[in-house]
């Protein structure tokens, strides 16, 4: 098993082991230590919904009083907050992807070479170089280390945050379009306007001492007060839009329906699709897209294959029908060919989140519609509730969400 469990069985075992320690989570969560003993290791499982946030919250509240587990519950809900914020402002994702491409094409070669060196773990600040290599080699970084490294990239190296976020997105096994993009914006001082996050050596001495002891060289560059905020221009349109109205459960089927599984939600057997009766289930990888469009690392691609394979196998067992995982150069064409080959009149799926999979939806809807196949997208009711609260900052969101968790049963 990898450090981050990538199947539901492995994730469930990991969660069972971590749950009894949730009461101590707040005290130790910020310490970056070898083997990361103070974190749940569930970030990839939750990102792909091998486990759902609802299950984790429900299990937590069945064992702990809210006050005992509040910090843990906050961290679980941060990912829903980020997702909701981006669902309300999808153009921020689009603007970021556009900027990555523009920067690759227009930055002076010297800056691009420096960015490549820092990403390869060759900055000359040994602790930061260890973090870069850990990310590439394992597909994981502790969240505190992510913040330090992002701050180092932006404010110490003076490199564009967009390219740093792209580096993380290409290698993190738990890479989430919302959490990754918006966390980098926050460190840069864009998400909360004017509030930057600055890496400080004293903070690493407190929370990352093991890394500093292994790699002290060059740390004077991040001495307290040495790193100053760099100005980051806001290129994104942050105008808030309304959430699209999506059903929480599938309408009664009037023909042959198939279930499309994707990496944004791989728990179809839990929630509104549990009682669905598809004729067939399909999931798709797209190695060509992964490599050519997003330049994903090999470990990230392998992880996508693993989680999709696990979701497909569970769907086959749950629904008792054929469930296939196929690779397609173009996912939209692959879904269309699958739907036509099974003579489907409807394709049902959980609505993809804003990100690479969500980007497929307009073209997919048109592609299927041209073949008289309806595309029905669902949104879990708990997602709809949480996303609607993500109007501003996290703490107003949390004030409402915490009241909800304490007064309502979690589905």
Number of other CB atoms surrounding residue 174 within 10 Å: 22
**pTM to 2 decimal places:** 0.96
| Helical packing angle, 161-171 and 298-319, nearest 10° | 50
Closest CA to 196 of 233, 231, 160: 231
Evaluate whether 319 touches 277 at the Cβ level (below 8 Å): yes
Residues in contact with 407: Cβ distance below 8 Å, sequence separation at least 6, in sequence order: none
Q: What are the angstrom distances between the C-alpha of 411 and each of 55, 214, 266, 271, 383? A: 8, 46, 17, 8, 11
Domain with CATH 1.10.579.10 in the chain: 98-222
CATH number of 257-378: 3.40.50.620
Domain with CATH 3.40.50.620 in the chain: 257-378
Average pLDDT for runs of 10 along the chain of length 411: 90 98 96 94 98 97 96 96 98 98 98 98 98 97 98 98 99 98 97 93 95 91 96 93 94 90 98 96 98 98 99 98 98 98 98 98 98 98 96 94 86 61
pLDDT the model gives residue 1: 54
Residues in contact with 107: Cβ distance below 8 Å, sequence separation at least 6, in sequence order: 115, 160
- Ramachandran class of 10: left when φ > 0, alpha when ψ lies in -120 to 50, beta otherwise: alpha
Its CATH architecture, for the domain 98-222, is Orthogonal Bundle (1.10)
Helices (H), 121-160: 126-138, 143-151
pLDDT the model gives residue 61: 96
pLDDT the model gives residue 411: 61
pLDDT the model gives residue 80: 96
pLDDT the model gives residue 410: 67
DSSP 265: B
């Amino acid at each position: 098993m990898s450090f981050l469990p990538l199947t539901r069985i492995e994730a469930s075992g990991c969660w069972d082991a971590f749950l009894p320690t949730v009461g101590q989570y707040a005290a130790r969560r910020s310490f970056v230590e070898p083997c990361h003993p103070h974190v749940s290791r569930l970030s990839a499982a939750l990102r792909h919904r091998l486990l759902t946030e609802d299950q984790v919250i429900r299990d937590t509240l069945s064992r702990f009083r809210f006050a005992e587990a509040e910090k843990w519950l906050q961290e679980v809900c941060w990912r829903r907050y980020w997702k909701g914020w981006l669902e309300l402002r999808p153009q921020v994702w689009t603007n970021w992807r556009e900027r990555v491409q523009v920067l690759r094409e227009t930055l002076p070669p010297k800056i691009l070479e420096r960015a490549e060196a820092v990403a390869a773990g060759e900055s000359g600040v040994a602790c930061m170089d260890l973090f870069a290599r850990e990310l590439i080699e394992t597909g994981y970084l502790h969240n505190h280390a992510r913040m330090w490294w992002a701050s180092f990239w932006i404010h110490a190296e003076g490199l564009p945050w967009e390219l740093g976020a792209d580096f993380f997105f290409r290698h993190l096994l738990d890479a989430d379009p919302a959490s990754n993009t918006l966390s980098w914006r926050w460190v840069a001082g864009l998400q909360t306007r004017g509030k930057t996050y600055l890496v400080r050596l004293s903070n690493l001495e407190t929370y990352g001492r093991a890394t500093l002891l292994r790699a002290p060289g060059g740390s004077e560059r991040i001495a307290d007060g040495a790193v100053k905020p760099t100005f980051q221009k806001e290129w994104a349109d942050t105008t808030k839009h309304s959430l699209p109205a999506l059903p929480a459960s599938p309408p009664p089927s009037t023909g042959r329906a198939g279930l499309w599984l994707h990496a944004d939600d791989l728990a179809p057997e839990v929630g509104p699709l549990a009682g669905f009766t598809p004729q067939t289930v399909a999931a798709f990888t797209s190695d060509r897209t992964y490599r050519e469009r997003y330049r994903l690392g090999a470990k990230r691609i392998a992880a996508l294959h693993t989680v999709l394979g696990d979701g497909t196998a569970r769907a086959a067992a749950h629904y008792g029908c054929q469930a296939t995982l196929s690779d397609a150069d173009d996912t939209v064409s692959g879904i269309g060919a699958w739907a036509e080959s099974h003579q489907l009149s409807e394709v049902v799926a959980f609505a993809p989140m804003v990100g690479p999979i969500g980007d497929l939806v307009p073209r997919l809807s048109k592609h299927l519609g041209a073949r008289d196949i309806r595309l029905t997208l669902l949104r879990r009711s708990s997602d709809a509730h949480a996303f609607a609260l993500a109007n501003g900052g996290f703490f107003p969101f949390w004030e409402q969400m915490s009241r909800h968790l304490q007064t309502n049963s979690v589905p």
